[in-house]
Amino acid sequence: MTVNYRVVDIIVPNRTPHAVEATLEIAPVDPATLEGVAFEADALKVEAYGLTAEMCGDVKTIKTQRHLTRALDPFQEVSVRAIIETDDPPTGKAIAAFQMTDTRAGVVMGGVTIVCTSPRYPSDLPSAPGPANPCPLVLGGGLAAYPGADPGVIDTRHPQDLVALVENPSRATLNNALIWLEHLDQSGVRWEPRVWYLGTMEPKARFWATFAVDGRGSNPGQWEASFVVASDKFDPVRLRAGFRILPR
């Protein structure tokens, strides 16, 4: 058997103007009940699993919890980390799955499903259908990082601000518009969780949203940032933009 640590960083957002308390719980689920996951395999042996608010420590020594409570201020988001220790078989296939739920005031508000497989599951997992009434906001042009010399390049020597230009190309006036940075792929770039409240976005309005990022310790290569935009009367939409990390 080979010991592996499956690490998943999860953003827990508060998109409301009120402070909330989120109770997070992780528990195993039967992989056979997961829609769209076709992976016939034996049960993957799980040694330990849990959640932690510590994002920088050694995953082998961090103490995790099955239940974790986080307080969130208005329009704030926090990061938590799920750590799953497994014993992977030398041959054959094995699978385990977990569900993290987010409960607020006794109501389940969301969650994340984590699937662990040996060997690695194909990356082309089925995705949910697109929104029926997508928010019209778009990203205008590529990303920029300041201070920096090259557009779309995150420096590995010092922290920067990642800048995304948000535009409303529609004829509709968008109320209570928001944008937040969901993730930076598997680049290893750390960022400060932040939700930008854009307010009212008139047609052709623009907003430059900045996110503090730190590329020290990141992985060179071409990566993709994922943002989410939302506004009243429209469904949230995921927007993607590429960026690079140069070899050291």
Alpha carbon separation from 133 to 85, 110, 189, 227 (Å, rounded): 40, 20, 32, 17
pLDDT top residue among 205 and 195:
205
Per-position b or e across 137-169, b if 16+ CB within 10 A of its CB: bebeeebbbeebeeebbbbbeebbbbbbbbbbe
Q: Does any domain span residue 131?
A: no
Which of 89, 118, 147 terminates a domain? The answer is 118
- Same-domain status, 8 and 105: yes
Residue 42 has pLDDT above 60, yes or no: yes
Q: What is the DSSP letter of 246?
A: -
Which of 118, 149, 166 terminates a domain? The answer is 118
Identify whether the C-beta of residue 70 lies closer than 8 Å to the C-beta of residue 53: yes
- Same-domain status, 202 and 109: no
- Same-domain status, 110 and 11: yes
At 120 the pLDDT is 73
119 prior amide bond cis, ω within 30? yes
- Same-domain status, 106 and 15: yes
End-to-end CA distance of the chain: 35
Residue 83 has pLDDT above 50, yes or no: yes
Q: What is the CATH number of the domain that holds 218?
A: 2.60.40.10
- Same-domain status, 93 and 176: no
Identify whether the C-beta of residue 29 lies closer than 8 Å to the C-beta of residue 98: yes
In sign, the C-alpha dihedral spanning 13, 80, 225, 158 is positive
At 190 the pLDDT is 87
pLDDT top residue among 129 and 169:
169
Which of 118, 148, 182 terminates a domain? The answer is 118
Q: What is the DSSP letter of 65?
A: B
At 122 the pLDDT is 57
Residue 25 has pLDDT above 90, yes or no: yes
Residue 85 has pLDDT above 90, yes or no: yes
Token digits for 220? Answer: 């060179």
Write the single-letter amino acid at 100: M
**Domain range for residue 89?**
2-118
At 46 the pLDDT is 95
CA 167, CA 158: separation in Å to the nearest integer?
A: 29
Contacts of 237 (CB under 8 A, 6+ apart): 131, 134, 135, 137, 228, 229, 230
- Same-domain status, 6 and 114: yes
- Same-domain status, 73 and 158: no
| Structural domain total, the chain | 2
Per-position b or e across 210-245, b if 16+ CB within 10 A of its CB: bbebbbeebeeeebebebbbbbeebeebebebebbb
Q: What are phi and psi of 149, to 5 degrees?
A: -95, -30
- Residues 220-242 pLDDT 10s: 888 999 999 999 999 999 899 99
- Residues 91-150 pLDDT 10s: 888 999 999 999 999 999 888 899 998 887 654 444 455 678 999 999 998 898 888 767
- Same-domain status, 107 and 208: no
Q: What are phi and psi of 31, to 5 degrees?
A: -60, -25
